Amino acid sequence: MATTQRVLDASEIRKQFPFFQPHPEMRSLIYLDNAATTHKPYSVIEAVSHFWAHYNANVHRGAYGVGAKASELYEGARARVAQFLNAREMAEIIFTRGTTESINLVAYAWGRSQLKPGDEIILTEMEHHANLIPWLRVAQETGAKVVVWSITDEGRLELETLKSLLSERTRMVAVTHVSNVLGTVNPVAEICRLAHEAGALCLVDGAQSVAHMPVDVQAIGCDFFAFSGHKAYGPTGIGVLYGRREVLENLPPFMTGGGMIRSVNWDRIDWAEIPMRFEAGTPPIAEAVGLHAALDFIDSLGREQIEAYEHELTQYALERLQEVPGLKLYGPQPDRAGIFAFTLEDIHPHDIATILDSRDIAIRSGMHCAHPLGDRLGQKSTARASLAVYNDTEHIDRLVEGLHYVRQVFGYAG
Ligand code: PMP
């Protein structure tokens, strides 16, 4: 893998992460559960702790110096996210607790105010529950209908199928950028274009894409884009909803309370402008500061470089996983992201994960919050390994060795 080493050097990158440094009480781990959450570089941890130590104050209200500084840092993080996603302006960036809250915000604020009986929301069969349950619920409440866009046997979405589902009844197409099970990278720009041609809006769930490839919301042309800080080397408790101004401006709030109104009396409430209208209560301030540092970390490596590096590592993993007898890999090949859901013989995925843990390899097992996809695959539970920029070929080699060992433990030959 000489070329991979030339693009980025994972062993150098790991030096930026305290989690990967030797620790007397902790075993060093081959961490392959990055689709669940990523580790945090020193720069993120230090930015958060520096905030708590020196600038802690509530935002948007303090007349004193530290209060103004906290507001400046919080709004600075918003400007950084806007630049990172190439939003037209920072008012289009709303801070939430994560992807889940971002999508709930859209389902409640937009869905409840706009949907009526007979309207349709198109969802794909590969959606995470975060982009599924809020829509099922708002459909139940409003009388709208959820229309399912099926995947191919290979685990892809076909645009021809979407065309056959779109109609004047379609109001929203909500789709994941990258599947957290199949690793499929969806053609979101084309999907948004088709949605718009039909007069619908388009929401993209970017939880699994934003840390792994360049993302430009204007190039995608989406109306909404959601992601979580903790899957992008940032803190938990912070997420982003990008919304196009023309859409956001016409929406009522999701949650209400302090900081989101212009004026209120017993008879009348005037909502604040965007984005404040959607940020009721004290926001996650230190977490926003940490997210800012996480985006700086990503850009310090370069998003094209990260994409190229992870692509090569993915190709290597695809080749090596094929060597394991009885391993069934889900999702398309070879063109996919570094998320590998698989089964091994008839060994329960929890057993696979537990035995790998005994060899200091961390993967996930279960249904990955995508029950309808599990039904479609006929496989409720799978094991899943997922890559980040600090992984390298040695980690894949250790995984493959570990899987051979799992087979041996269960008495499979070879
Ligand atoms: N969407 C996708 C595709 C995901 O993989 C996840 C997390 N597994 C989410 C949404 C939800 O993210 P969070 O739990 O950070 O809100």
**Hey, which residues are catalytic here?**
369
134-182 confidence digits (pLDDT tens)? 999 999 999 999 999 999 999 999 999 999 999 999 999 999 999 999 9
364-409 confidence digits (pLDDT tens)? 999 999 999 999 999 989 999 999 999 999 999 999 999 999 999 9
Q: How far is the CA of 291 from the centre of ligand 1 (A)?
A: 16
Is residue 19's pLDDT more than 50? yes
267-300 confidence digits (pLDDT tens)? 999 999 999 999 999 999 999 999 999 999 999 9
Is residue 230's pLDDT more than 70? yes
Whether 206 lines ligand 1, by a CB cut-off of 6 Å, is no
Beta bridge partners of 339: 386
Give the pLDDT mean for 295-307: 98
Whether 38 lines ligand 1, by a CB cut-off of 6 Å, is no
Question: What is the spatial distance between Cα 335 and Cα 155, in angstroms, rounded to a whole number?
Answer: 11
Ligand 1 atom 14, closest CA: 100
Query: What mean pLDDT, rounded, does the chain reach?
Result: 96
Is residue 321's pLDDT more than 50? yes
Q: Read off the tokens for 171.
A: 């109001």
324-377 confidence digits (pLDDT tens)? 999 999 999 999 999 999 999 999 999 999 999 999 999 999 999 999 999 999
- Bond into 275 cis (ω within 30): yes
Helix, strand, or coil here: 128?
A: coil
Question: What is the spatial distance between Cα 311 and Cα 209, in angstroms, rounded to a whole number?
Answer: 13
* pLDDT band (50, 70, 90) for residue 5: very low
Least confident of 19-33, 219-233, 242-256: 19-33
For ligand 1, what atom is nearest to the CA of residue 369?
A: 8
Whether 349 lines ligand 1, by a CB cut-off of 6 Å, is no
Whether 312 lines ligand 1, by a CB cut-off of 6 Å, is no
Whether 332 lines ligand 1, by a CB cut-off of 6 Å, is no
Whether 343 lines ligand 1, by a CB cut-off of 6 Å, is no
Helix, strand, or coil here: 324?
A: coil
Whether 99 lines ligand 1, by a CB cut-off of 6 Å, is yes
Q: How far is the CA of 99 from the centre of ligand 1 (A)?
A: 6
Q: What is the pLDDT of residue 1?
A: 44
Q: What is the pLDDT of residue 403?
A: 98
Question: What is the spatial distance between Cα 132 and Cα 203, in angstroms, rounded to a whole number?
Answer: 12
* pLDDT band (50, 70, 90) for residue 229: very high
H helix or E strand, kind and range, residue 224: strand 224-228
For ligand 1, what atom is nearest to the CA of residue 205?
A: 1
Residue ranges and CATH numbers for the domains of the chain are 10-40+302-409 (3.90.1150.10), 46-299 (3.40.640.10)
Q: What is the pLDDT of residue 60?
A: 86
- The preferred substitution site among 132, 215, 231 for testing ligand 1, maximizing ligand atoms within 8 Å of CB, is 231
User: 75 phi and psi, to 5 degrees?
Assistant: -70, -30
**Percentage of the residues of the chain whose pLDDT score is greater than 70:** 99
- The preferred substitution site among 38, 180, 225 for testing ligand 1, maximizing ligand atoms within 8 Å of CB, is 180
Q: What is the pLDDT of residue 6?
A: 54
Question: What is the spatial distance between Cα 364 and Cα 382, in angstroms, rounded to a whole number?
Answer: 8
* pLDDT band (50, 70, 90) for residue 2: very low
57-106 confidence digits (pLDDT tens)? 999 877 899 999 999 999 999 999 999 999 999 999 999 999 999 999 99
Per-residue DSSP letters for 29-83? -EE-BTTT-----HHHHHHHHHIIIII---TTT--SHHHHHHHHHHHHHHHHHHH
Q: How far is the CA of 196 from the centre of ligand 1 (A)?
A: 25
- The preferred substitution site among 208, 238, 241, 368 for testing ligand 1, maximizing ligand atoms within 8 Å of CB, is 208
Ligand 1 atom 12, closest CA: 99
